[in-house]
Amino acid sequence: MKKFIVLASVALLAACGSDEHSDLKQELNTLTKDLRGHVDPLPQVKPYEPVPYTAEALVDPFLPDRIIVAQAGPGARGLGKRAPDPNRPKEPLEAFPLESIHMVGTITQGKETFGLVTAGSNLYRVKKGNYMGQNFGVITSIVEGQIDLKELVQDSSGEWVERASALQLQEVSKR
């Protein structure tokens, strides 16, 4: 019985090895006989060259002593001639960033022109000399479509410098 199973297995394997797809194999060999894979050579690896560190003799800009010297400059403490008055009482619009304040109109009473601005959910009436914004902005003029301001900001050296800003009239949508 064992011999019969072995002979049957050999016969089946011989049948599988027939030339059933020989024409396909021959055509594939013909089409690929000239094709050979090509691999580019590896790039040349440059040797590592260490760079010497030559800045150890220079002053470290991050030392606490160096920072204190920079802060002790002439305007770092806000003692310049343009420094804002720290004792001046704050006005309500100085609590809002200038970007969040919107001009919605003007009112003229007598010879004086007032600006109408919104900040938060409130409407405010402002005039020349009022302060608004968080950069010590003082209103220098109010015209029909614009409120001009002069702000005081500190530059990189700590000096107080003036910066001109303006609020443009914005149309309010009616609800």
Task: Give residue limits of the domains in the chain.
Answer: 64-168
Residue 15 is predicted with a pLDDT of: 58
Instruction: Look at residue 79 in the predicted model and tell me its pLDDT.
Output: 46
User: What pLDDT does residue 76 have?
Assistant: 44
Confidence (pTM)? 0.53
pLDDT at 7: 62
C-alpha–C-alpha distance, residues 24 and 88, integer Å = 97
Could you report the average pLDDT of every consecutive run of 10 residues in the chain (175 residues)? 66 61 85 80 91 82 58 49 84 93 92 92 94 94 92 84 90 62
**Encoding tokens for residue 129?**
């000399």
Helices (H), 43-99: 64-71
Domain covering 64-168, topology = SH3 type barrels. (2.30.30)
> Euclidean distance between the first and final Cα of the chain, in Å?
99
Q: Which residues contact 76 (CB under 8 A, 6 or more apart)?
A: 70, 157, 158
